[in-house]
Structure formats: structure tokens, C-alpha cells
């Protein structure tokens, strides 16, 4: 696959939020054809149009180019479709259910070519376990796209205990060709790479509120107006190098004993959950959310991501 084995046919199995947007990612190359397989008739094109509207209104994708990209995507609800039999690359994006994912890959293995590469978009589940019932486990790998998949560049390519080097390398290459920032997670570790760090931060954020050090709004502001600003430009390990590993070491020796190291969700979080304070879903979590505020939060995030994308395209064009 990639330069050595040309990729032509992509199958996305699962027509939900992630599946639709991943299909759009693979429409970027005129040579590739993408089939989305869902269990019932759904208007994936309406979903893609809505998700991509800000890209078109900002001129990041021209209207003509967008229609050409849509014409490279086809929907089927038939697992016996040619798009399944001829797939070079399969990306599963069905609901987060281990039994369901295992069953679907067994069905696909009976129908797909024996050299097709299988990928799972699971956010947390082990690719070793998902692929455990398959015959050809070496050509199975995790591909963790982030939501919204057409706007967030990262895809974590997660090796299982059986993924071959060739499979991981081929998938990395295809994702890069599709315009994604592919990173390799060398071990099947829970949380892969980015979610381990994200939830380490969330654990401490909840702990700060629980300990009465600051309220929830202040915690978010402290991130947003400080190291959150640096992060897109300077990763934590680059930052450690910048300030010096000697200094990093002495900060860690002083502060680590004061940080949360709980192996369980925080008592504050579980109490809020038990009392039905679920955040957006119930209108109140760490803070109150009106419908307008919820809509604005979603819209602002999308606008920010589109702006970041526009900026990175301009930067690449200048280089």
C-alpha cells in the first residue's frame, strides 16, 4: 500500500459521526474510491455537507472540489457489496462495543481480500483484543482519528501485539497521503498516546476543584491563558528541553507528591455523575449550560479548528 502497493479502494465500516467524516478525509485523492457501509439507510452526504460547510464558506475547499470529493464516496448497506470484497484498506467505525467490533471483523475477514489491511477507529479499546479472533492478525492496526475527523489532523496508528511493521508503515503512509498527521503508538497501551496525557490533565483539573484550590471556571482559564497557548507550538518534552531537564527534574521532585495520583475517578466527579449533573446533557456539570451556551461552545470550537486549518494551509503554502 502507499507507494509500493497502490491504494484504490477504501471501505469505511460504520456510517456514524466518525465514519462519515473519515470517508471525507479519504476523498482527497482523486484515485481513491471510498465506500461507506452502514447497517441501515442513512444520508451520509447530508452529514458530510453539514460538517464541511465551514470549510467551504471559508474558501478552504472550493464548492466544485467539494462536489468532486463527494462523488468519490458511495454508500451501501450491503456487506456483500463489491466495495467490501475489493477493499484495500478497511476502517471500522461502529459503536464502541468489543463484541460488536470482533464480530464485524470476523464477517469482514470472510469477505475481504486476504491482503486487505484492517483498521479500527476505537478510541479506547485494545487493537490486540479486537483482532484476537482473526486469522490474519498481522495486517490489523488501530487508527484512532479524533473528532471531528476532517478537522483534527492527528491519527494515532496503534500497533497490536501482532501488527507487522509493514502494516503499520503502510497505514502511516496512506494517512499522510490523505493529509493527516499520523503518529505511531508502538505498543497497545490503554489510552494510546494523546488520551493518556489528556486524561492525566483532566484528573488534576478535577482534583484542583475538589481540593478547593480554584473553581472550575478558573481552572479552565488557567489552562487557556497559559500553557494551553503554547501547546500547539511547543510540546511538553520540547518545553522540558527548553527550560532544562535539570530544572524539570527539580520541579518534579518538589511537586509530584502534591499531585493527584488516584487510580479511580475522583469522588467529586462520581458524586456529580450520581446526582445527574452530566454537563451538556443535563444542562449542568462543573458549570451551568443554557442551550445558547452549548450551541456557542460547539460553534466556537469548530470555528477555531477551521481557523487553525486555514493557518496551517497558509503556512505550508509559504514554505
Ligand X SMILES: NC(=O)c1ccc[n+]([C@@H]2O[C@H](COP(=O)([O-])OP(=O)(O)OC[C@H]3O[C@@H](n4cnc5c(N)ncnc54)[C@H](O)[C@@H]3O)[C@@H](O)[C@H]2O)c1
List contacts with ligand X (CB under 6 A).
Answer: 14-19, 38-39, 93-96, 100, 121-123, 145-147
Min dist CB 97 to ligand X, Å, is 7
Using alpha carbons only, give the angle 300, 279, 46 rounded to the nearest 5 degrees. Answer: 50
For ligand X, which residue has the nearest CB? 16
| Neighbouring residues of 155: CB distance < 8 A, sequence distance ≥ 6 | 143, 144, 145, 146, 175, 180, 181, 182, 183
Nearer to ligand X among residue 122 and residue 163 (C-beta): 122
Nearer to ligand X among residue 105 and residue 286 (C-beta): 105
Nearer to ligand X among residue 68 and residue 196 (C-beta): 196
Sheet containing strand 181-185, strands side by side: 73-76, 33-37, 9-13, 89-92, 117-120, 140-145, 154-159, 181-185
Nearer to ligand X among residue 34 and residue 122 (C-beta): 122
- Cα first-last separation, the chain: 28
Q: What is the DSSP string of 196-215?
A: HHHHHHHHHHHHHHHTTSS-
Nearer to ligand X among residue 10 and residue 208 (C-beta): 10
Min dist CB 161 to ligand X, Å, is 20
- For residues 271 and 42, give the distance between their C-alpha atoms in angstroms, rounded to a whole number: 38
Min dist CB 239 to ligand X, Å, is 26
- For residues 176 and 163, give the distance between their C-alpha atoms in angstroms, rounded to a whole number: 19
Min dist CB 245 to ligand X, Å, is 33
Min dist CB 182 to ligand X, Å, is 15
- For residues 127 and 124, give the distance between their C-alpha atoms in angstroms, rounded to a whole number: 9
Amino acid at each position: 500500500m502507499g507507494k509500493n502497493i497502490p491504494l484504490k479502494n477504501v471501505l469505511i465500516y460504520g456510517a456514524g459521526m466518525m465514519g462519515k467524516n473519515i470517508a471525507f478525509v479519504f476523498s482527497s485523492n482523486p484515485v481513491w474510491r471510498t465506500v461507506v457501509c452502514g447497517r441501515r439507510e442513512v444520508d451520509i452526504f447530508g452529514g458530510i455537507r453539514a460538517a464541511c460547510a465551514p470549510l467551504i464558506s471559508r474558501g478552504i475547499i472550493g464548492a466544485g472540489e467539494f462536489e468532486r470529493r463527494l462523488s468519490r464516496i458511495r454508500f451501501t448497506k450491503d456487506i456483500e457489496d463489491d466495495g467490501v470484497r475489493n477493499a484495500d484498506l478497511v476502517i471500522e467505525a461502529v459503536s464502541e462495543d468489543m463484541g460488536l467490533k470482533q464480530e464485524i471483523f470476523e464477517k469482514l475477514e470472510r469477505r475481504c481480500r486476504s491482503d486487505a489491511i484492517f483498521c479500527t477507529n476505537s478510541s479506547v479499546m485494545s487493537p490486540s483484543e479486537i483482532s484476537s479472533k482473526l486469522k490474519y492478525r498481522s495486517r490489523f492496526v488501530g487508527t484512532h482519528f479524533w473528532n471531528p475527523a476532517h478537522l483534527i489532523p492527528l491519527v494515532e496508528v496503534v500497533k497490536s501485539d501482532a501488527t507487522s511493521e509493514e502494516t503499520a508503515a503502510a497505514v502511516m503512509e496512506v494517512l499522510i497521503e490523505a493529509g493527516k498527521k499520523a503518529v505511531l503508538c508502538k505498543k497497545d497501551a490503554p489510552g494510546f498516546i494523546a488520551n493518556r496525557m489528556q486524561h492525566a490533565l483532566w484528573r488534576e483539573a478535577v482534583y484542583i476543584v475538589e481540593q478547593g484550590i480554584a473553581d472550575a471556571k478558573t481552572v479552565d482559564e488557567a489552562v487557556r491563558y497559559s500553557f494551553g497557548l503554547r501547546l500547539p507550538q511547543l510540546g511538553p518534552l520540547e518545553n522540558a528541553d527548553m527550560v532544562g531537564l535539570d530544572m524539570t527534574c527539580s520541579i518534579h521532585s518538589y511537586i509530584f507528591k502534591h499531585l493527584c495520583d488516584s487510580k479511580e475517578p475522583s469522588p467529586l466527579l462520581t458524586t456529580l455523575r450520581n446526582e445527574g449533573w452530566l454537563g451538556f446533557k443535563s444542562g449542568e456539570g462543573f458549570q451551568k449550560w443554557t442551550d445558547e451556551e452549548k450551541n456557542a461552545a460547539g460553534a466556537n470550537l469548530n470555528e477555531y479548528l477551521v481557523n487553525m486549518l486555514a493557518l496551517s494551509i497558509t503556512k505550508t503554502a509559504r514554505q
